[in-house]
């Protein structure tokens, strides 16, 4: 987690655990510490130095029988104490937990400092500002002396970044790494997403506005999980990312996947099948809920219309306003962002409504694909339990195992065919589809099954203005047969010249945008008999 992610996580954690009582502490592994806190409910606060994270967890985490010496020290001083504050120090990856413990008439004040800086991470227990003990030896700090924090990196506060500063930095280097090096709390992955989601003629201005929106998500997270479930973010990622109700749920979901991957291999195929089915079931449920909630778009637009009508009567700084609808006279209470004007609040609602409506066709397409994959995986699970061989299409949906013998020869980057003297290339995977596009010439013919996931196909033009119909039909049939539509009788195949196919910056492997395309319908029943 970077500084912004830690701030977003603490924003969800602090209101739940502050004023709670620390009941016990334990250390499941070398870098992970779990604090059980009662604050009207039993909560588990997890500080993980290994992946530099702080989160709450609902999982049943095993308590080791024999605690470490450091855990025994923490229990001695903190067990039974009341948490009075949990704060981040600046935008650093440093969290301070303040606690007070009473023992009869005596009152003890403690601070536990978690330095979440990866492999160099550390925990320091202070009493009245003086170091009691550290988890690991630290040259900056000695027992019995006042705590010395991490040295400042001299980075710029993200709230103070201006378009002019961004323009200067981008002139040095156009990569996202320069933003991570210059802006406090901004990690490389977040910087990469920031750049990927920014566009326009004035990149510096757009980056600045996008950074402000990321800071708004720190206070009000709209959590997402990457499609491969490898990481969680406090800000929305573009589809096909998975949206989550809270940042804590997103963090726990990703952690659960990592924990499952680290289990001893028993029946890995069975485990992978169950996991793939569960993932798709959860995603389908979330997408269905999203579609059910999308009717809210009309309400958001109506609220935005009211704000535009009464904008002159609404001063900046209000958290809510009651307005009467001119059409029926009914009063409506609208929540406002006090930092924005009435017009900006209205624009925010318009954008939300537009985003919902724009996402409808993509969500329907994705639902159709996921339901097909779920049916295929459920059939594969039944076959596996009967000790039958699995279809290759089902195996393609499972994670690839890296611990395999290396191939004796370097793999061909994509499949190659020849029809009537014309070369036809076909990708084997999303990454190879990207490689295929890079290797092709602008006037080559590109094909893909319309509205279905599948292989990209390229027919090499070799300088010819026209490719024979027989070659085009053969290539289109390949695109249809190597797609999720291969069980259909008729499949529409999109085709256009390679120069009209573009790979947008920052999108997942295999995704492209196409303009000025034609469609060819292929009958897959021909030749099957």
**What pLDDT digit, counting tens, does each position of 390-419 carry?**
676 777 888 765 444 444 444 456 788 888
Q: Are residues 79 and 190 in the same domain?
A: no
Count of CB atoms situated within 10 Å of the CB of 349: 22
DSSP code, position 389: P
- Is residue 425 within 8 Å of residue 439, measured between CB atoms? yes
In whole angstroms, give the CA distance from residue 152 to residue 130: 21
Contacts for 527 with CB less than 8 Å, ≥ 6 apart: none
Q: Are residues 108 and 200 in the same domain?
A: no
- Is residue 214 within 8 Å of residue 194, measured between CB atoms? yes
Query: What's the CA angle centered on 248, arms 209 and 53, to 5 degrees?
Result: 85
242 is a domain residue: no
Residue 15, pLDDT > 60, answer yes
Residue 313, pLDDT > 60, answer yes
Q: Are residues 185 and 104 in the same domain?
A: no
pLDDT mean over 84-95: 92
| Per-residue pLDDT at 256 | 72
Buried b (16+ CB within 10 A) or exposed e, 411-430: eeebbeeebeebebbbbbee
Given pLDDT bands bounded at 50, 70 and 90, which one contains residue 287? confident
Residue that wins the pLDDT comparison between 483 and 402: 483
Given pLDDT bands bounded at 50, 70 and 90, which one contains residue 133? very high
Domain count, the chain: 4
| Per-residue pLDDT at 30 | 85
Q: Which of 363, 378, 405 is the last residue of a domain?
A: 363
Q: Which two tokens stand for residue 429?
A: 């995977």
Residue 356, pLDDT > 50, answer yes
Farthest-apart Cα atoms in the chain, separation? 95
Which of 54-58, 177-181, 306-310, 411-415 bottoms out in mean pLDDT, i.e. has the lowest?
411-415
In whole angstroms, give the CA distance from residue 151 to residue 112: 18
**391 φ, ψ to 5°?**
-65, 145
| Per-residue pLDDT at 176 | 77
| Per-residue pLDDT at 47 | 93
- The tens digit of pLDDT for each residue in 500-516 reads 998 888 777 778 888 88
pLDDT mean over 70-79: 93
Q: Are residues 208 and 303 in the same domain?
A: no
pLDDT mean over 439-446: 91
Given pLDDT bands bounded at 50, 70 and 90, which one contains residue 275? confident
Q: Which of 191, 220, 249 is the last residue of a domain?
A: 220
Q: Are residues 8 and 129 in the same domain?
A: yes
Counting other chains too, the contacts that 210-218 makes at CB distance below 8 Å and 24 or more residues apart are 211/158, 211/161, 211/183, 214/4, 214/158, 214/190, 215/4, 215/158, 215/159, 217/8, 218/4, 218/7, 218/8, 218/11
- Residue with token string 């990708």: 427
Q: Strands 501-502 and 130-134: what pairing? A: unpaired
262 is a domain residue: no
Share of the chain above pLDDT 90, in %: 28
512 is a domain residue: yes
467 is a domain residue: yes
Residue 529, pLDDT > 60, answer no
Residue that wins the pLDDT comparison between 241 and 45: 45
| Per-residue pLDDT at 403 | 40
Q: Are residues 71 and 124 in the same domain?
A: yes
Q: Are residues 116 and 173 in the same domain?
A: no
Q: For every residue of 459-493, which 3-state class applies, written as one string?
A: ECCCCCCCCCHHHHHHHHHHHHHCECCCCCCEEEE
398 is a domain residue: no
In whole angstroms, give the CA distance from residue 217 to residue 7: 10
DSSP-assigned letters across all residues of 491-511: EEEEEEEGGGEE--TTPPTT-
- The tens digit of pLDDT for each residue in 222-272 reads 888 887 777 899 998 887 778 888 898 888 888 876 654 444 444 577 888
pLDDT averaged over the chain? 85
- Is residue 85 within 8 Å of residue 97, measured between CB atoms? yes
Q: Which of 220, 250, 271 is the last residue of a domain?
A: 220
Q: Are residues 8 and 125 in the same domain?
A: yes
196 is a domain residue: yes
Which structural domain, as residue segments, surrounds residue 311?
296-363
Q: Are residues 80 and 165 in the same domain?
A: no
DSSP H helices in 62-110: 69-78
- Is residue 434 within 8 Å of residue 413, measured between CB atoms? no
Residue 374, pLDDT > 60, answer yes
Q: Are residues 18 and 96 in the same domain?
A: yes
DSSP-assigned letters across all residues of 310-362: TGGG--TT-SEEEEE-TTT--EEEEE--TTS-HHHHHHHHHHHHHHHHHHHHH
Q: Are residues 129 and 34 in the same domain?
A: yes
| Per-residue pLDDT at 125 | 95
pLDDT mean over 64-77: 89
Length of the chain: 529
DSSP code, position 428: S
Cis peptide bond upstream of 224, omega within 30: no
- The tens digit of pLDDT for each residue in 339-350 reads 889 899 899 888
In whole angstroms, give the CA distance from residue 294 to residue 304: 16
19 is a domain residue: yes
Query: What's the CA angle centered on 425, arms 421 and 429, to 5 degrees?
Result: 165
In whole angstroms, give the CA distance from residue 227 to residue 508: 9
Q: Are residues 159 and 189 in the same domain?
A: yes
CA-to-CA separations, 114 to 57, 99, 123, in angstroms, rounded: 18, 14, 5
| Per-residue pLDDT at 4 | 93
Q: Which two tokens stand for residue 290?
A: 């999203």
- Is residue 212 within 8 Å of residue 198, measured between CB atoms? no
Could you tell me the CATH number of the domain that includes residue 25?
A: 2.30.310.10
326 is a domain residue: yes
Burial class (CB in 10 A: 0-12, 13-18, 19+), 344: middle
Strand partners, 110: 99, 127
Which of 226-240, 310-324, 438-452, 489-503 bottoms out in mean pLDDT, i.e. has the lowest?
226-240
CA-to-CA separations, 491 to 1, 376, 502, in angstroms, rounded: 45, 19, 23
Q: At what angle do helices 203-219 and 163-172 cross, to 10 degrees?
A: 120
Burial class (CB in 10 A: 0-12, 13-18, 19+), 326: exposed
Residue 469, pLDDT > 80, answer yes
Cut 0.85: pTM above it:
no
| Per-residue pLDDT at 123 | 94
Query: What's the CA angle centered on 518, arms 431 and 489, to 5 degrees?
Result: 80
């Amino acid at each position: 987690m970077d500084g912004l992610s830690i701030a977003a996580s603490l924003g969800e954690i602090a209101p739940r655990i502050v004023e709670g009582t620390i009941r016990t502490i334990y250390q499941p592994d070398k870098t992970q510490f779990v604090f059980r806190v009662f604050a009207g409910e039993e909560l588990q606060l997890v500080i993980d130095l290994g992946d530099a994270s702080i989160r709450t967890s609902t999982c049943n985490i095993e308590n080791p029988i024999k605690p470490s010496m450091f855990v025994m020290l923490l229990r001695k001083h903190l067990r039974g104490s009341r948490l009075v504050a949990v704060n981040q120090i600046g935008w650093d990856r440093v969290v301070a937990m303040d606690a007070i413990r009473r023992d009869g008439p005596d009152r003890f004040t403690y601070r536990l400092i978690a330095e979440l800086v990866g492999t160099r991470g550390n925990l320091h227990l202070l009493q009245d500002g003086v170091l009691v003990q550290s988890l690991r030896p630290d040259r900056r700090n000695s027992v019995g002396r006042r705590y010395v924090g991490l040295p400042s990196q001299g980075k710029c506060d993200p709230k103070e970044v201006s378009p002019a500063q961004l323009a200067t930095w981008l002139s040095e280097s156009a990569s996202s790494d320069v933003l991570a090096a210059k802006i406090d709390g901004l990690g490389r992955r977040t910087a990469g997403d920031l750049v990927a989601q920014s566009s326009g003629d004035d990149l510096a201005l757009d980056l600045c506005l996008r950074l402000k929106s990321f800071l708004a998500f720190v206070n009000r997270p709209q959590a997402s999980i990457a499609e491969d479930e490898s990481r969680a973010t406090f800000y929305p990622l573009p589809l096909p990312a998975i949206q989550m109700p809270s940042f804590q749920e997103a963090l726990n979901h990703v952690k659960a996947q990592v924990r499952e991957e680290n289990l001893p291999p028993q029946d890995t195929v069975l485990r992978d099948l169950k996991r793939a089915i569960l993932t798709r079931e959860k995603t389908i449920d979330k997408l269905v809920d999203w579609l059910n909630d999308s009717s809210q778009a009309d309400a958001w637009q109506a609220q935005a219309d009211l704000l535009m009508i009464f904008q002159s009567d609404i001063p900046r700084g209000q958290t809510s306003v009651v307005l009467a609808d001119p059409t029926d006279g009914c009063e409506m209470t609208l929540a406002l962002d006090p930092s924005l004007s009435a017009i900006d609040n209205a624009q925010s609602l318009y954008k939300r409504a537009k985003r919902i409506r724009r996402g409808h066709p993509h969500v329907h397409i994705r639902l159709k694909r996921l339901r097909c994959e779920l049916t295929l995986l459920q059939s594969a699970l039944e076959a596996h339990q009967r000790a039958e061989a699995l279809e290759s299409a089902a195996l393609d949906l499972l994670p690839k195992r890296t611990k395999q013998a290396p191939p004796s020869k370097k793999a061909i980057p994509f499949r190659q065919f020849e029809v009537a003297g014309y070369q036809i290339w076909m990708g084997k995977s999303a990454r190879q589809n990207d490689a295929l596009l890079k290797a092709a010439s602008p006037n080559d013919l590109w094909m893909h099954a319309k509205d279905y996931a599948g292989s990209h196909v390229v027919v090499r033009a070799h300088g010819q203005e026209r490719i024979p119909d027989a070659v085009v039909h053969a290539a289109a049939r390949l695109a249809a047969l190597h797609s999720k539509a291969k069980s259909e009788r008729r499949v529409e195949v999109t085709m256009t010249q390679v120069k009209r196919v573009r790979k947008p910056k920052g999108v997942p492997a295999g995704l492209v945008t196409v303009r000025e395309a034609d469609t060819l319908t292929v009958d897959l029943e021909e030749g099957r008999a």
